[in-house]
Structure 1
Amino acid sequence: MGKFEIVKRKNGEFQFNLKAGNGQVVLTSEGYTTKANCQNGLDSVKKNAKDDAHYERKEAANKKYYFNLKATNGQIIGTSQMYESEAGREKGIESVKKNAPESTVADLSIEI
């Protein structure tokens, strides 16, 4: 089973990553100024992940493939890694659909 990890960037912003069961990052958020906003984005991913209509399939200038997951309002709430093939990108989308709704959340942003 996958899991979300909330991390704090060096610039002080919060971001989350969705990792598949094998530990590979399949979706990354933008940077958020507050942890609460980061959590809201994460919750939106959980809510929208199952609906294929929320996935925007893209091809980068370097001919690699990726996708964005969008909220109901059209805002991007997560971006995938780069894939060598369209088939790889589709597997990534399937991984997000399967893992995101039920994934646990690990908050790694806590400072000790």
Structure 2
Amino acid sequence: MAAIGKYVIFNEGGFFYKYRLYASNGQALIISEAYKDRKACLGGIDTLKKNIDNLKLDYEKDKKGAWCFRLITQQGRPLAQSANYKTQKDAERAAGSFQKFALTDKIVDEDQTNSDDHYDVQVMEDSISPSSNGKFLILNEDKDYYYQLKANNGQVLCTSQAYLSEKSARDAMENFRKNVYEGSFYIFIDKRKQAFFKLYSKQLRLVMTGETYKTKDMAISAAKSVLKFARDAKVVE
């Protein structure tokens, strides 16, 4: 029997649209970047399918050691990201199988009444006075490099994904610093009732996912702290 997948388009919190690609057994293989409306999301699916043979696979490890792969066009545009896997080899195996489902013509809209996706609230960005008392740390663990932003009281506000070199981590840190003030923050509550912020660029590219908190107010407070400290935070080793 031929492999038949499907794309499912869904609205995330009323702010933007994404799609997931599912295998014929119901497994979610990839989730897309954000799009401003459903039409743009359909265009994203079309772009993925047209570029399927020339996509760059970028393997990433998060701060908890989980691996995923990202799909990037030859022009450097990120399109989608996989689920998390325990090892890089697991992510590589998954990357090798998603292509057989990606060319499906089946596209459906998610039934929001039965959805347990995240919902989100945009953070207000007013009345944030900058402070120079925060700090960025460049961390090196098992040949992986990370950057981390801390508040003046030592609270960890966010930690990056892993990078292969210190330069890559520093470049990503400066890109993050820029997007803090050019992009937008959203607060997410997941189905386990945990809250966290996500920072998106002006182009709706995901830049950073923050730490998890017990309440929405705590996540909002953390996002506001990022706005307060990121601009003038000193970089320490």
Interval containing the TM-score (normalised by the shorter chain): 0.7 to 0.9
* Structure 2 spans left out of the alignment, 5+ residues: 114-237
Alignment of 1:83-98 (within 5 A): 83-98=85-100
* Structure 1 spans left out of the alignment, 5+ residues: none
Question: Does residue 1:41 correspond to 2:48, yes or no?
Answer: no
Bigger relative contact order (CA 8 A; separation at least 6)? 1
RMSD of aligned alpha carbons: 2.0
Kindly tell me the number of residue pairs found equivalent between the two proteins.
110
Q: 2:20 aligns with which of 14, 17, 26?
A: 17
Poorly superposed stretches of 4+, deviation over 3 Å: none
Cα distance per residue 1:17-73 (max 9 Å; x no partner)? 00112111110012211111111111111122333x521112222111101101232
TM-score, normalization by structure 2: 0.43
Displacement of 1:110: 8.7
2:107 corresponds in structure 1 to 105
**Relative to total residues, which structure has the larger helix share, 1 or 2?**
1
2:69 corresponds in structure 1 to 67
Whichever of the two has the greater Rg, that structure is 2
TM-score, normalization by structure 1: 0.85
> For residues 61 and 86 of structure 1, do their structure 2 counterparts lie closer, same or farther at Cα, with a shift above 3 Å needed?
same
> For residues 110 and 47 of structure 1, do their structure 2 counterparts lie closer, same or farther at Cα, with a shift above 3 Å needed?
farther
